[in-house]
Structure 1
Amino acid sequence: MREDWAGHIFGWLFYRNAPWGLPLSSSPNQLYPYGTSVALTDGNPLVAVLLKPFNALLPADFQYTGLWLALCFVLMGWFGAKLVSVVSPRPAHQVLGGLLLALAPPMAARFGHPTLCAHWLVVAMLWLHLRDTPDAHAARRALALAALFNAVGAGTHPYLVAMLAPLAVALAVRLALGRVLGWGAAVAASVGFLVLDVGVFALFGYFGGSGLGAEGFGDFSADLSTLFNPMGWSKLVPSLNTAPRQGEGFGFMGVGALLLLALALLATTFRFRMLRGVPWRRGVPLAVTALLMAVYALSWRVTWSGQKVADLGSLYEPFSRLTSAFRSSGRFVWPLSYLLMACALLLWLRLWRSRPWVGTAALALAVAVQAYDWHAERSPLHRSTVFRRLQSPEWAELRGHYQHLALFPPHVQWICRYDEPLVNALGYTAYRLKLTFNSGYASRTPPELAAECNAPLRPGSIDADTAYVVATEALPQFLQQGARCGVLEGLPVCVAGSRTDAFARALERQPLR
């Protein structure tokens, strides 16, 4: 119950109480009266929408973050195994390859932002690119799977789609270059991917709030050393310096993967003949796309060990609206990181196809080193926080008599004051009592909400259906308008002076006048 996790969880909890509507993940009862959506709280709208029909069967405190993380690991292993199957039918190779990819540090480093742990979607796209596609039927099936992965990504997080869509277009180009798909069909498929992604965005409610942009492009970037800089995630390799916000551009493959890549490159010097017949052209559109995304990951301020070595500001200036929408450019290094891991796996197994035991031994070693070196203590899961639950039975008197719980002035992450423990405590109480709440976390908020951050109480604006938790400096304004105010669990709470219900009477036990 902190930071992004709290935002994700409350996006889901308020959505449970919200009526069905369009967009599908809309929550008019959160950030009331403006509303928001699960999508705008980064709360995994696809999973939320799939679970909402079962709301009555789920416990009150049910959340799906742990289940989602588990699913991401399982699917990472599954598609890692599918990737290895491109060159090896042996189950041992596929299991070890899947384990190596499931232990990739970039995915674990995203635990603080659970929706972005769906790195298996990137690996799945690599598999579609690198596997054999012999005819038009197989090509159409590959494009259908790419569309499915794009739809899942669009229902999960925009940054995933920003990587998947170019990879899907590159797949269409690859199939056209391989002459298993006509160029007209490739163009139609590419347009179809983009239309599909925009349609899913609209369906789940990504379009809304104060706009697509924010500051940070150039700060949330990848360093040139990112592929081999563990940033504290390794027990064996020392970390290099980075700028403060460059954790977003973390692309360290892991010591085991780096070891396997080094062994594969070394082995090519004396087993070069084993590379005959490798369909290198199959991977060209993929490699070009991954490299272009990696260049974008560096942003306009290109750094080495945290120090600026190049300034590309003039190059990106015409695209400022796009770069502000995808300000965390460092994340776009992930496709290159996973492509290099895939190359290490596939190249090594190809070189030792005639001696599979050598491939097995090296893979087992790489997995063992990767697992040992995986510095789990770096995970956000190891940071604890105290979640305050309001205990006074008087809060229950709000149910059935009031419709809204509000902080005055509102507390909204990024745009207003934000006391996270207080917001979480009151938000959870509002959820359990099925009330609306005017405060919380969202990646984009209505522009009107910002004007309320420091606005005074307007004459006659105390709503009889609302219980207000009031900032100390604003309390005189409520008292001047005849509000009934008292202290409840150390919090100044006010209701309309006309209220005589049990909750209003409870405030008289510690009155504020």
Structure 2
Amino acid sequence: MSVTGAPELDQPVRPRPAATTAPALDTPAIVPALLIGIIAFIIVRGLAPLDPTNILWLDERDRAMHTLGWWWFAMAPWGWPPGASPLNGLELANSVALSDSLPLFAFPFKLIAGWLPERFQYWGYWELLCFILQSLFAVLIAHQLKLSRPMALIAAMFCVFQPAFLMRLDVHMALAGHWTILAAVWLYLRRPTPLWAWPLLLATVSAIHGYLLVMVFALWGASFLSRPWQGELRPLRTLAELGLGSFGIAVVLWSAGIFMVGSMQSYGFGLFRMNLMGPINPAFFQFIVPGVPVNRFEWEGVNYVGLGIFALTAVVLFTLRPANLAPLLRPRLLPLVLVAVGLALFSLSHRVALGSIELFELPLPQWLVNTLTVFRSSGRMFWPLGYLIVFALLTLLSRQLRSTPALLVACLALALQLGDLQRGIRALNIGPDRTGTTWRTTLTSPAWDALAPHYQRVRSLPVENENWNWRELSWFAVTHKLPTDAVYLGRMDPSALRAAREVGDTAMRDGSFDRGAIYGVDSASARRILPLLGPDDVLAPIDGLILFAPGGKPILDAAGISLSPFVAVLP
């Protein structure tokens, strides 16, 4: 049976039966796809993340930033815009979106926060949803490409065990929403597409993560490029779709608070890139294929495709007939391919490297480099092409071999893929050592609990984004319901940061400290504070940092706690 939306793939190059002509193509294998997503999640992550009070696995690095951002947002009263999060950063505060705390989940859960456990986490449910939708949209894409149901399910397996997707689960959890890329590819292939479909996807991805929005937006643009070639460009409908899509993006980004910073510029464009070895360098997943030394910042561009994809590539190239490539490069698909390739080229940045060798640097004006730092982690932009490679290989395999041999080769390649990734998969499992209802912390002295009820804020000196002590101080602050400027945020208003630094520097010159705040300071700041201490002030090394508590000595004396005072040591 012919499938609407893929006319150029209706006629096989060779007349003999192949996997693409299987008769049971009227409906995609949705239920098996959902089961694949659920089972894959359990294999990779286990069931522990689905306990909403299990937070121990979230206590490190970026996972801590995302989770703290949600807790602060849930704790704060609703603001304007709704995504404002004033407790997370004090003068540096911005929004739930800029701590990458997944507004798509943060907004609805904040509505019922009063009925939730105090340390509720939704990240396990988000990741389960990502696995399910990753598998579902893979099957829907395969259906549009007229792959047989077994081959479609193999495509789903390759997508849920895509290394670039798996790598995000323990790092940038909102970026695990790779299913939005697959949804965009499916909408591109689907004909006809309802007027509301692209605007809905764009609004949804706007509530997930900015990098994913850029990729989906680019694929949306590719769909517009393809329409004139197909005689499908209807001006009024196009204007309506453009208006709805743009409006949806703007409203969601504003609501999430993405515009609360004066500038989205950052640093590091050309560092967090993809190396030319990125697709073949296993890095975190190194097990069978050896790793390749690269720049330490290039982990963002590790886009390993896996040993199974290598095997599929070899078989497809060995059996390739040039005529089989033509349907994949016809006008309907060409804009999709060109946009994905363009994003992949951008992932290399203007500084191109092969392994540890810097090949060349494209001269760019400094203003442009500064602008591009908004998307400093350019290495992520390879993701759409990575998925297109999977579907292109399975489509070519199905066209070049008969059904049974094609399915056998695909199964063997999938087995290779899973075997090759087992080291990484094991490391991603949330076992007993990462299960608990609290976080590990170095702040174990009873002095912290004694002081906390007498202060209204927690501060850090020097004032920085992702200061060395941010994680310990933020955990202490959130557990005692004290707002803090010891934070880690994805983007921070540079003018606010400069102003906060000036206030901190002034205080260390003239003693105008925030008397309602308890401070965590470094040794250089402590040396500056020491001459300004009053008789009731506390400045003491404790639990790996230096505590400064204005007026804190009587509180500690009343609690029977004695701390050794800070003694300046010449640097």
DSSP 3-state at the match of 1:450 = helix
SS of the equivalent of 2:134 reads helix
Contact residue 302 and residue 310 of structure 1 kept, 8 A: yes
Does structure 2 retain, via aligned residues, the 8 Å contact 1:469–1:493?
A: yes
Residue of structure 1 equivalent to 2:460: 407
Taking the TM superposition and a 5 Å limit, the aligned residue runs for 1:355-504 are 355-377=402-424, 381=428, 387-388=440-441, 390-391=443-444, 395-396=448-449, 401-410=454-463, 412-413=465-466, 418-420=467-469, 423-445=470-492, 446-447=496-497, 448-452=499-503, 454-457=505-508, 459=510, 461-469=512-520, 471=522, 472-477=526-531, 479-480=533-534, 482-485=535-538, 490=543, 493=547, 495-497=549-551
Shift of 1:474: 4.7
> In the alignment, which of 140, 147, 158 is matched to residue 210 of structure 2?
158
For 2:173 and 2:296, locate their aligned partners in 1 and report how far apart those are by CA, in whole Å.
21
> 2:500, 2:149 → 1: CA distance?
56
1:130 aligns with 2:189: yes
SS of 1:85's equivalent in the other structure is helix
Q: Does 1:115 align with 2:174?
A: yes
Q: Distance in 1 between matches of 2:254 and 2:210?
A: 12
- 1:263-282 map, 5 Å: 263-269=315-321, 272=323, 280-282=330-332
Q: Quickly say closer, same or farther: Cα 1:380–1:114, change in 2 above 3 A.
A: farther
2: CA distance, partners of 1:218 / 1:380: 29
The reply to whether residue 300 of structure 1 matches residue 350 of structure 2 is: yes
Q: Aligned ranges for residues 66-465 of structure 1 at < 5 Å?
A: 66-88=124-146, 90-110=148-168, 111-131=170-190, 133=191, 138-139=192-193, 141=194, 144-183=196-235, 185-186=237-238, 189-190=241-242, 192-209=244-261, 211-231=263-283, 233-269=285-321, 272=323, 280-314=330-364, 319-352=368-401, 355-377=402-424, 381=428, 387-388=440-441, 390-391=443-444, 395-396=448-449, 401-410=454-463, 412-413=465-466, 418-420=467-469, 423-445=470-492, 446-447=496-497, 448-452=499-503, 454-457=505-508, 459=510, 461-465=512-516
Report SS of the residue matched to 2:331.
Answer: helix
Per the alignment, in what secondary structure is the counterpart of residue 259 of structure 2? coil
Once the 2 structures are TM-superposed, how far is the Cα of residue 90 of structure 1 from its aligned partner?
4.3
Alignment: residue pair count = 493
Aligned partners of 2:367 and 2:565: how far apart in 1?
Answer: 56
Mapped partners of 1:498, 1:243: distance in 2: 46
- Would you say the 8 A contact 2:463–2:501 is kept in 1? no
Deviates more, 1:148-157 or 1:258-267: 258-267
Distance in 2 (alpha carbons) for counterparts of 1:189 and 1:196: 10
Opposite residue 406 of structure 1, the aligned amino acid is R
- Aligned partner of 1:63 in structure 2 is 121
2:12 corresponds to: none
Q: Which digits, 9 at most, give the CA deviation of each residue in 1:403-456, with x for residues without a partner?
A: 22233444531xxxx334xx3233222212211112111122233233356443
**Distance in 1, Cα, partners of 2:412 & 2:252:** 42
Return the letter of the residue paired with 1:119. H
Determine if contact 2:273/2:349 at 8 Å carries over to the other structure.
yes
1:389–1:311 distance in 2 versus 1, CA, 3 Å: closer
Contact 1:430–1:436 (Cα < 8 Å) also in 2:
yes
Cα separation, 1, equivalents of 2:236 and 2:317: 38
Specify the SS of the correspondent of 1:33: helix
- 1:144-167: CA deviations, max 9, x gaps? 322222222221211111111111
What is the Cα deviation at residue 299 of structure 1? 1.3
TM-score (structure 1 length as normaliser): 0.85
Q: Distance in 2 between matches of 1:409 and 1:333?
A: 37
Distance 1:362 1:435, change over 3 A: same
Q: Provide Cα deviations, 1:170-191, integer angstroms capped at 9, x if missing partner.
A: 1122234322331453355345
| 1:282 aligned counterpart, secondary structure | coil
Partner Cα distance (1:90, 1:278) in 2: 17
Contact 1:172 1:189 in 2 (8 A): no
Cα RMSD over matched residues? 3.3
Distance 1:216 1:278 in 2: 36
CA contact (8 A) 1:406 1:467 kept: yes
Q: Could you tell me whether the CA contact under 8 Å between 1:108 and 1:379 is conserved in 2?
A: no
- Counterpart CA distance in 1 for 2:138 and 2:300 is 23
Gaps of 5+ in 2: 1-58, 567-571
1:239 partner SS: coil
